[in-house]
Chains A and B, each alone.
Chain A
Amino acid sequence: MDIVLQQLVNGLTLGSVYGLIAIGYTMVYGIIGMINFAHGDVYMVSAYLTAISIALLTFFGVESFPFIIFGALVFTIVITGAYGWVIERVAYRPLRNSSRLSVLISAIGMSLILQNYVQLSQGPNQQGVPTLITGAFRFHIGDGYVQITYMKVLILLIALAGMGILTYIIQKTKLGRMCRATQQDRKMASILGIDTDKVISSVFVIGSAMAALAGVLVTLDYGAFDFYIGFIMGIKAFTAAVLGGIGSLPGAMLGGLILGLSESLFAGLVSSDYKDVFSFSLLVLILIIRPSGLLGKPAVEKV
């Protein structure tokens, strides 16, 4: 019983992280219909940026952890957003009118570039950040107990705040309206005077910023990372996006939570060796059985 509860808690935080990264996939897919294969590696870059910002802040004598976390968040989100913009500008915009296969191959190339560039710049070894927040809530249940670290609480809160801000931007602001219009019909939106190129760029920036948020949170919680973490995380977040229905924002968050919870339960109750196999199998199964996901609209192919 306590194992199940503990795994549920772990799954909730894991799921909110998946959800944050899945937003990047789902928004990009919704607006230009491509899988941004490099998105997982953008997340990886943000993990490095987190560590760099923490090292810089401690070097300049910032000691209190609220400032460090705030500084790391701002630094990482801004620079990772710049990465999103550059990636779109360099690898995807010249291919706007090409076949989907070309764009996907270009994205795979971008993913390889990012991985190798970080590896060459920062060295192939695993890196880490110091633990900033220690301590936990403990709830005794029967013989065992369930432990919720303060860090996990913080992850949940910040992830919720991030999703809230995003929902506000998409639903209430002018930029959000332009995004939704472009998503519905790019040609029509551009006829009506929306600079669709700019909208697409900003979608990449927003998606990368969300990935950066996840990157900061996971790095602070987990501590260690290397240049290869983006691959697995990217596929899992993509699974989350597909599970919720690709193109749908609430779907990405819901899919993330469901994937995180089910994966944690599987790892706790069945086998942690095969938890990645479980996630991949889930992805394959969803795509076969219900490709439109839980909240997505089925794709209609017009001739």
Chain B
Amino acid sequence: MSQTAGMNYKQCFIDAVVAALMALVVFGPIMGIVLDGYKFDIDFQRVGWIVSIVFVGRLFMSYYFQTAKGQAMLFKYANNHDGVTVNPPNHKSKMIWVIPLVMVIGFLIPFIASKYILTVLILGLIYVLLGLGLNIVVGLAGLLDLGFVGFYAIGAYSLALGYENLGLGFWSMLPIAAIAAAFAGAILGFPVLRMHGDYLAIVTLGFGEIIRLILTNWVSLTHGPNGISAPLPTFFGLEFKRRSAHGETFHEFFNLPYDSGYKYMFVYLVLFAVVWAVLFIKHRLVKMPIGRAWEALREDEIACRSLGLNHVLVKLSAFMLGASTAGLAGVFFATYQGFVSPSSFTFFESALILAIVVLGGMGSTLGVVIAAFCLTVLPEMLREVAEYRVLLFGILMVVMMIWKPRGLVRVTRNGFAAREGVIK
């Protein structure tokens, strides 16, 4: 990429014209001619806009990459595929101060915030859980799972079906759903042990779709596309309803006026605690041999197996832990909505969770948490652009892969040094 000095303006212009022509051919028919029954309406204005944007953008890009700065940037991004940033040994992370602060603020929020903000935050936390789960599978173990939403669905439907058929409530179903999802993860994990990369992605995609189709078509059990209702959590046996058939309700017991916000407050607090527990467990797991094994497997499977790692155990544990986290998220989703239906578990959800992991930085816990909030809370806040959400996700995924394939937040890790007093 070492070009001779001096600008080639002609080349810039040719590039831009070619790009604009291509844009005209590609965008022209679909954007310019809008089908209306068997007839059509014409909308050439937006085609004009997009073609001019492409022309100017390409002109600028061609120009910029010929300057010294652009060359330096190209060189930098061609060589930025190294993995982790290693801190010096005994590096003290600033997170020691941030974590208690976030904990306290997060704990106080439900007592201040409005019901609407609370529901948005609950959704954000659910996606944090999902992101953390998929981060184990994709980010750490490097197994691209496109059917992750299947485990989420299993968690959600476990709660609803367990309540309807077995009479079990939120608290008993929370662990059971996690176990059921982990079990499903193992069932999926066993056959795909031999696969890697693209085939694995497609099989898991098929698995997720199979689960959704079964939920849709097994009408006698799941009520099909109509969905099924899910119970709310109880506070030591006290329900969050206005009136209850089973003794006192929450507001009656504490002599409070009835407020439907209490249940969201409670769901939020429980979810908040669960997210911290999962964060803690994950933080520890990454430092344990199993976490190291996941990452080693991601980097080079053959080398790992040659060094005696049991790849069956490593892969299965990643699948099961990831799935059980998704199962937990599913339970919270079901109880927060009060209702589950198969339409909540489409492939788009899987892609969204994947976008969270990709954007946040594969393997980076902090990045995933931030990305989960960005991708779920921001679209809620910016209602006007809500319909462009999917488009933006798609563009984000492509741009991130080209620009920063390791995500926004780099994984950092403390280096090792012999402890003082140890004989070298």
Contact = CB atoms under 8 A, between A and B. Distances in A.
Given A94-B402, A280-B210, A86 B22 contact: yes
Contact of A79 (B25, B31, B388, B405): B25
Contacts of A118: 30
B394 A112 contact: yes
A118 to B, nearest CB: 6
A120 B351 contact: no
Contacts of B285: none
Nearest to B352: A112
Contact of B34 (A58, A116, A121): A121
A109 B398 contact: yes
A43 interface: no
A109 B354 CA distance: 10
B33 interface: yes
Contact of B206 (A52, A53, A284): A284
Interface string B1-29: 00000000000000000000010011001
A110 interface: yes
B39 A55 contact: yes
Contacts of B396: 109
A301 interface: yes
Contact of A58 (B38, B195, B394): B38
Contact of A106 (B205, B217, B387, B401): B401
Contact of B398 (A49, A113, A129, A288): A113
A171 interface: no
Nearest to B302: A303
B322 interface: no
A75 B25 CA distance: 11
B209 interface: yes
A105 interface: yes
A86 B205 contact: no
Contact of B391 (A82, A120, A274): A120
Interface in A12-67: 29, 33-35, 45, 48-49, 51-56, 58-59
Interface string B395-418: 111100110010000000000000
Contact of A283 (B40, B142, B203, B388): B203
B207 interface: yes
A282 to B, nearest CB: 9
A51 B33 CA distance: 10
A277 interface: yes
A255 to B, nearest CB: 14
B81 A122 contact: no
Instruction: Name the residue among A45, A91, A99, A112 with the largest chain B CB count within 10 angstroms.
Output: A112
Contact of A231 (B194, B214, B347): B347
Contacts of B348: 112
A55 B209 contact: no
B32 to A, nearest CB: 9
Contacts of A273: 217
B390 interface: yes
A106 B30 contact: no
Contacts of A242: 199, 202
Interface size class of A (residues with CB under 8 A): 35 or more
A83 B26 contact: yes
B273 interface: no
B307 to A, nearest CB: 13
B25 A108 contact: no
B161 interface: no
B197 A105 contact: no
Contacts of A204: none
Interface string B309-340: 00000000000000000000000000000000
A222 interface: no
A111 B401 CA distance: 14
A114 to B, nearest CB: 8
B144 interface: yes
B213 A276 contact: yes
B38 A128 contact: yes
Contacts of A51: 35
Given A108-B351, A116-B394, A280 B209 contact: yes
Given A35-B198, A95-B402, A109-B395, A56 B35 contact: no
A85 B22 contact: yes
B266 to A, nearest CB: 35
A215 to B, nearest CB: 13
A35 B388 CA distance: 26
Contact of A90 (B138, B217, B387, B398): B398
A235 B210 CA distance: 12
Interface in B73-91: 81
Contacts of A120: 387-388, 391
B191 interface: yes
25 contacts: A48-B30, A49-B29, A51-B35, A52-B33, A55-B38, A55-B39, A55-B40, A56-B33, A82-B25, A95-B401, A101-B138, A104-B144, A105-B354, A105-B401, A106-B397, A112-B390, A116-B390, A117-B30, A122-B30, A123-B34, A231-B347, A273-B217, A280-B206, A287-B202, A291-B195
Given A122-B35, A284-B191, 16 more contacts: A34-B198, A45-B30, A51-B35, A52-B33, A101-B142, A104-B144, A105-B144, A109-B395, A109-B397, A112-B391, A114-B394, A121-B31, A122-B30, A273-B217, A280-B207, A287-B192
Interface of A: 29, 33-35, 45, 48-49, 51-56, 58-59, 75, 79, 82-83, 85-86, 90-91, 94-95, 98-106, 108-123, 127-130, 231, 235, 238, 242, 273-274, 276-277, 280-281, 283-284, 287-288, 291, 301, 303
Interface of B: 22, 25-26, 29-31, 33-35, 37-40, 81, 138, 142, 144, 146, 191-192, 194-195, 197-199, 201-203, 205-207, 209-210, 213-214, 217, 302, 347-348, 351, 354-355, 358, 387-388, 390-391, 393-398, 401-402, 405
